[in-house]
Amino acid sequence: MSTVLINSDEIYKLLEDVKDPEIDTVSILDLGMVEEVTVSGPDVSVKMLPTFLGCPALPIIQKNVETAVKQLPTVRNVSVTFLRCPSWTSDRITEKGKAGLKVFGISPPPRQMKKDGSWHIDCPYCESKYVTMENIFGPTACRSILYCKACKNPFEAMKPMIKMI
């Protein structure tokens, strides 16, 4: 009987289906949370980066990753660990991830801030620049609450998390 080798591409494919527990249009891959997948025989190790240290979704994500990887019958053990280094930054979110955030009504984080630390976000519904920040803090650690003066919609935006800050 020959051994079936696990290909890490297969693992990545499965991880595409692991969504953010609170934003079901974005996968953990597109959020840039997966740092490394290593396969050693039948054992798989997934190294991830926490978005925010106190994020209560981390244990749920960890469990969902384990469940997803175990779907592959050739997998024996899965270990999911959160790394301290490098730090997750919001520029790890892929273009697909940004599109997914917008579908959910969340503006993606800007890539850069101005020198004074301010940043600009467009309305995810009507693209207007005529928006106001209502609260830097939102329903989850990674989100802020804004209001669009053009289409009169309240909306959320993902906070920029950038090394320089």
Partner 1 sequence: MENESLKNMAIKELLLHLADDDFIHAYRGSEWLGLAPHIEEDVASSSIAQDTMGHAAIFYQLLEEIGEGTADRLAHDRPANERRNAIILEAANGPGHYMKDPDYDWAFAVVRNYFYTQAKAIKIQSLQSSSYEPLAEVAQKVQMELYYHLMHWKLWFVQLLGSDHEEAVSKMKAAIEKTLPNFAGVFSLGQYGEEMVEQGLIEGEATLRKKWIEAITPVFESVGLVTTFEMGMAKGDGRNGVHTEDLETALETLSEVYASDKAASW
* Phi, psi of 155, rounded to the nearest 5 degrees: -150, 170
Identified binder of partner 1 from the candidate list 45, 134, 151, 153, rule CB under 8 A: 134
Strands (E), the chain: 19-20, 23-27, 34-40, 43-48, 77-82, 106-107, 131-135, 143-148, 154-158
**Helices in the chain by DSSP H: which ranges?**
8-15, 58-70, 95-103
- Residue 161 Cβ vs partner 1, minimum distance, rounded to whole Å: 5
Closest CA to 108 of 118, 119, 93: 93
Answer yes or no whether residue 147 interacts with partner 1 by CB under 8 A: no
Answer yes or no whether residue 139 interacts with partner 1 by CB under 8 A: yes
Identified binder of partner 1 from the candidate list 21, 52, 66, 104, rule CB under 8 A: 52
Answer yes or no whether residue 71 interacts with partner 1 by CB under 8 A: no
- Residue 125 Cβ vs partner 1, minimum distance, rounded to whole Å: 21
- Residue 127 Cβ vs partner 1, minimum distance, rounded to whole Å: 25
Identified binder of partner 1 from the candidate list 12, 60, 63, 117, rule CB under 8 A: 117
Rounded CA separation 42/75 (Å):
5
By the criterion CB under 8 A, which residues form the site for partner 1? 50, 52-56, 84-85, 87-89, 117, 134-141, 145, 159, 161-163, 165
